Structure 1
Amino acid sequence: MVAYGPQPDLNEAVRSALASTGVAIQVVIVDNGAEPAAIEAVRTLDGVTVLSAGDNLGFGAGCNLGVQSTDAEVVVLLNCDAAVRPDTIRALVDAVSDPQVGIATASLRLADDPEVINSVGNPVHYLGLAWAGGYGEPADRHTEAGPVSSASGACCALTRAWWDELGGFDASYFAYHEDVELSIRTWQRGRTVVYVPGAVATHHYEFSRNPGKLYLLERNRLMTLLTTYSGRTLGLLAPALLGQEVGLLAMSASQGWLGKKLAGYGWLLRHRRQLLDRHRQLQAERSRPDREVMQRFTATLDPANVPVPGAITAVNALSTTYRKLVNLWL
């Protein structure tokens, strides 16, 4: 668990994890600059270890630090504003015991209405956008386990062996989209990402659209595309990616965060050598080609937790046709 800021729900989250049945639990809290009172309220609980990061390392690096501090056989990532039911972690552990499964993601529910979905795993568009799957839908519509594009970092699990094989999160992301990147790498390396309906967690979820978050979301989306896709795929997708960027630039200008969007381009340009090295590494490690991995992605944009443009139907039709053409060449 990575803690930053006020964290009014940390106590509930920690105690829910400690109350888990059927598993031995060690809760590791990485203090990334959380309110001291929130940390002190749980520091002395049996089974809790608090690590001081000394600074805000970001979500990804904070998770990496926490995992390195334990020799547990299974790693569960849990947000500080999410509470698990007693049998949730056991269900996640059972799911990742299948050697074909890389990551298991929970049935995240809205804390204010636990019969309503927050996320059943996150759909990923082949141009990199991702969102909360099933958001706002009744939980009883999502009772079947199965593969999903991406796990939600708010509550998911993987074996320590698989975490180590993947190298954990890429700390360059700082926050947002690192769960998508980890999931894509899992698919690329021959394993699956699965949704576990019996692993229920309630989440005090609130989607914000502040410029700082939008900067990271956009920068990290492009970083994921540039490093996980092959050079051939990037070339085939270039016209669609360019069209999407023009649209996003126009949207960012109209909404007042154009400067942040441009700053993301600047970061990617300054770190181009790092991105190239990362691209080479990930392409060398993969065992599934893009043609197979992209079958797990969607060509339509239909997020329920954010507003979409009025022309989305036409955009989705064009996007679907374009992906079919790309698939012919992959």
Structure 2
Amino acid sequence: MFLWTDPDVEVIVVDNGSSDETLTELPNKYPSVKLINAKEDSGFGAGCNLGAEAALGEYLFFLNPDTLVSQGALRELISPLEFDPSIGMTTPKILQLDHPTRINTCGNDVHLSGLALCRGMNEEARKFTLTEDVNSISGAAFAIKKDYFFELGAFDPVFFLYVEDTDLSLRCLLNGKRIVYVPNSVIYHDYKLTFGPKKIYYQERNRNYMLQKLFSKNTLHSLAPVLCVADFMTWGFCILHGKREIQNKLDAKKWLRENQAQIMQRRETVIKSQKVPDARVVTLLGWKIDFKQTVSPFPAFFLNSFFSPLYYCLKKWIG
């Protein structure tokens, strides 16, 4: 997990219902590591929340288990949080572990539809050298003050899998804080794009749940053309990939219909911490979708040629 770390760092590992030897081997190999046994897999966000609650430090650094941390990365990531109160979260330059000269992500790009993509994916590692604001952290590695993490409401455990980092990021922006990309903090991530049996279900359910939870009805109405195009696009993907993905899409819509009361309760919680109009946050969201991150280059070219101009026009129309 660690290529390098500072001696005063408290390391907490949450075992989220694993079936391997983590619970028996980790204490013997790394006795200084605090191990939390979640006993069952309650999801990515809930597991992270357990670790955050147990942490004693002022700052939290969330890290996926399939990562390596370069020397000084943690100090670089924490430093902006120490000296600039306008910053809510920081996110590092994440490189691909098996191709370290290539970028995995330099903070994520959140699209108007709620889709989040890796910023700079497969670009050369020497690029993206400026410290700059982004509209989302990557859940693979990011830093935040512990008090502020819980002030925002921590990770929403309803998501279970996928979109938690986007949701937390947008709540940070709605709270009036900035998210800053720190290029001198370098992490290596064993990133693989896969489509498991339930990925489409969780991504579609969670993306729409997030939008309904975070944004007012007026904002959602203004985004309606964008969301309709995104729905058309994802339906096309599901139809092309067969019965399983069609069922996943239908199940996601069913969950959203059946859980409107819960979504509205969560909406009330978001409103309590909101300091910036959600319409202003929408202006920070992008109109481009890099389809090369989801499909092979040939169809990606045609998808980009059609959808990019369409989303650009919709972005201008929304204002």
1:94 pairs, out of 79, 85, 89, with 79
Deviation at residue 249 of structure 1 after TM alignment: 1.5
Matched, 1:58 2:50: no
Match of 2:66 in 1: 81
**Counterpart position of 2:166:** 180
Question: Which residue number in structure 1 is paired with residue 261 of structure 2?
Answer: 273
Shift of 1:276: 1.0
Query: Are positions 1:319 and 2:311 aligned together?
Result: yes
Matched residue type, 1:54: K
Give me the whole-angstrom Cα distance separating, in 2, the residues matched to 1:243 and 1:143. Answer: 34
CA shift, 1:53, in A, is 0.6
CA contact (8 A) 1:32 1:62 kept: yes
Give the superposition deviation at 1:155: 0.7
Residue 192 of structure 2: SS of its match in structure 1? coil
1:223 aligns with 2:209: yes
1:263 to 251, 255, 258: 251
SS in 1 for 2:138: coil
For the pair 1:27 / 2:19, whether they are aligned, the reply is: no
- The amino acid that maps onto 2:190 is H
Secondary structure at the aligned position of 1:211 is classed as coil
One of 155, 158, 167 as aligned partner of 1:169: 155
Mapped to 2, the partners of 1:71 and 1:115 lie a distance apart of 35
Cα offset, 1:303, TM superposition: 4.5
SS at match of 1:102: strand
Question: Are the aligned partners of 1:131 and 1:303 in contact in 2 as well (CA < 8 Å)?
Answer: no
Q: Which residue does 1:248 correspond to in 2?
A: 234
* In 1: Cα distance, 2:119 partner to 2:12 partner: 28
Does 27-36 or 258-267 show the bigger shift?
27-36
What whole-Å deviation, never above 9, does each CA across 1:160-179 have from its counterpart, x for those lacking one? 11101111100000011100
Corresponding letter in the other structure for 1:276: M
Per-residue CA deviation, residues 68-105 of structure 1 (Å, 9 max, x unaligned), is 11221000100000010121111111122221111101
Letter of the 1:76 partner, please give it.
F
Q: Deviation at 1:297?
A: 1.1
**Contact map agreement 1:25 1:47 (CA 8 A) in 2:** no
Asked if the contact 2:45–2:155 (Cα under 8 Å) also holds between the matched residues in 1, the reply is yes
Residue 139 in 1 paired to residue 131 in 2?
Answer: no
1:296-307 matches, cutoff 5 A? 296-307=284-295
3-state secondary structure, aligned to 1:310: helix
Match of 2:191 among 202, 205, 208: 205
Contact 1:135/1:304 (<8 A) preserved: no
AA at the equivalent of 1:91: E
Instruction: Point out the more displaced range, 120-129 or 317-326.
Output: 317-326
Counterpart of 1:126, as a letter, is L
- The reply to whether residue 310 of structure 1 matches residue 295 of structure 2 is no
**How many Å separate the matches in 2 of 1:32 and 1:272?**
28
**Identity percentage over the alignment?**
31
* CA shift for structure 1 position 211: 3.0
Q: Give how far 1:283 is off.
A: 2.7
Q: Give the distance between the partners of 1:247 and 1:114, measured in 2 at CA.
A: 32
Structure 2 residue 26 is matched with structure 1 residue 42? yes
CA contact (8 A) 1:133 1:303 kept: no
- Paired residues of 1:132 and 1:303 also in contact (CA < 8 A): no
Runs of at least 4 residues off by over 4 Å: none
Shift of 1:231: 1.2
- Identify the match of residue 109 of structure 1 among 84, 87, 95: 95
Residues in 2 aligned to 1:40 and 1:171: alpha-carbon distance in whole angstroms:
27
5+ residue gaps, structure 2: none
> Once the 2 structures are TM-superposed, how far is the Cα of residue 230 of structure 1 from its aligned partner?
1.6
Letter in 2 for 1:160: K
Offset from partner CA, 1:190-220 (integer Å, 9 cap, x none): 1011111111111111010123112111111
Distance (Å, rounded) in 2 between the aligned partners of 1:95 and 1:205: 26
Give the deviation of 1:229 after TM superposition. 1.4
